[in-house]
Amino acid sequence: MLIYLRLLKESFNFALNALRNNKLRTFLSLVGVTIGIFSIIAVLAAVDSLKKEIEGSISGLDNSTIIIMRFNFGPTEIPRWKWQQFPDVTFDEYQYIDRNTPNIEAATFTLNVPDESVKYEDKQVDNVPIGAVTDSYYNIEALKLSEGRFFNGSESNSGSMVVVLGDEIANQLFGDAATAIGKEVRIYGRKFNVIGVLKKEGAGLFGNSKDTTVWMPVNVVRRIYGDNNKSTFPQIVLKPEKGIDQAEFKAILDQKLRMKRGLKPDEVSNFFINQMQGFTDFIDEITGSMNIIGLIISGFSLLVGGFGIANIMFVSVKERTSLIGIQKSLGAKNKFILFQFLFEAVILAVIGGLIGLFLVFIVSIIASQFTGDFEFVLSPWNMFIGTAISAAIGLISGILPAISASKLDPVEAIRTGM
């Protein structure tokens, strides 16, 4: 065991000497490994960060949550031209499903509408996302309030002029005021009474979040836009009861909505029943594909780095031929020489890999500063992968030079070196 520790120490010293004595050559050889590891780990870190941000942005929704609309989350066998002609879901269909479908814990109808301005006295916040929902959305999304309350069923059904503000909107409008509750803001040129403020959450995937959103009864927005306005995008969101058969539940939903729309048995369903689990699986599939593509592209850089390491090791063997002969004449075994050069190749490659990891770390910090709340994550697992790949490249690149060094005849080696 001690001999291998000594061998590792000597190999490390040889590697450092190679760096010191052949700075340019070693630098050029390590550039390939550094760039390769940087590329691979940067891709993995970027994809992991994107996946984490997406999962965080939908973390309020349970994986069993179902969204009915005219679009599908993922690929579909229905031709594009056909599903683009599907009708939007309606408030009437939402009520029908809510009343007639068993095993529903909560159901809500939402409208995606253009951003609006929110005004209070002389202060105004522009481009504010509007959350037009029914009261049950509070339970589906698991919203949390810092003060006040969410609107109730009566206010939702009647379309009361009440509003719940995101934390950032409340701060911009009211500043250090003791409370926002009871104050009146103007949206759509109408007065709305503030009844609640959500807890601070942080930015979402595309820069917006609940902090920058205002929530109001969907029937208020329906009165303003009408039910056939193409600038709105309605959805029915359902949260099934826990423990039920998901496939059976979706089949019942499909049957109910087909009956409501009067579709014939041979007609395709002109709506999509999307489940959040399917969306997360789709995200996993996309990020997996991105990882594979990124790894393939980055692999070419790493391949160049491997050739660079092999080149410097062959040169190192040639330069130290006489020393190898002396070591073998003094009793050094082939295995000792083999491991000596293998360790040196691995150490050189790992040095290049660590430089690449350090560059990824620096870039991730800088990138996080320029992307607001979007955080690039360099996980310990990715650091381990980077180090392992570096060591593997060193091992593969150094094997042939190490074998050639171990098979040298000591007499010929000394004579050649002289």
Query: Does 66 reside within a domain?
Result: no
Banded model confidence at residue 54, pLDDT cuts 50, 70, 90? low
In terms of domains, do 256 and 391 share one?
no
In terms of domains, do 107 and 206 share one?
yes
- Residue 191 token pair: 């007065």
For the stretch 326-381, pLDDT in tens is 767 777 677 777 777 777 788 888 888 888 888 888 887 777 676 555 566 677 77
In terms of domains, do 211 and 136 share one?
yes
In terms of domains, do 164 and 261 share one?
yes
CA dist., res. 360 & res. 19, Å (int): 22
Query: Does 70 reside within a domain?
Result: no
Query: Does 384 reside within a domain?
Result: yes
In terms of domains, do 110 and 229 share one?
yes
In terms of domains, do 155 and 266 share one?
yes
* Pair 382, 64: CB distance under 8 Å: no
**The domain boundary residue, chosen from 226, 247, 270:** 270
In terms of domains, do 340 and 257 share one?
no
Model pTM greater than 0.75? Answer: no
Instruction: Give the burial class of 374: count Cβ atoms within 10 A of its Cβ; 0-12 exposed, 13-18 middle, 19 or more buried.
Output: middle
In terms of domains, do 121 and 246 share one?
yes
Banded model confidence at residue 207, pLDDT cuts 50, 70, 90? very low
End-to-end, the C-alpha distance of the chain in Å comes to 34
Helices (H) and strands (E) in the chain, counts: 14, 12
In terms of domains, do 201 and 230 share one?
yes
How many domains in the chain? 2
| Strand blocks (E) in 218-278 | 233-240, 272-275
Residues 6+ apart with CB under 8 A from 366: none
Question: Residue 214 belongs to what H/E stretch?
Answer: strand 214-217
What domain range includes position 26? 2-57+282-417
- Give the model's pLDDT for residue 329: 74
In terms of domains, do 322 and 199 share one?
no
* Pair 381, 374: CB distance under 8 Å: no
> pLDDT exceeding 90 applies to what percent of the chain?
24
**The domain boundary residue, chosen from 238, 270, 302:** 270
pLDDT at 20 over 90: no
CA dist., res. 192 & res. 195, Å (int): 9
Residues 6+ apart with CB under 8 A from 236: 67, 68, 69, 89, 93, 94, 97, 107, 108, 109
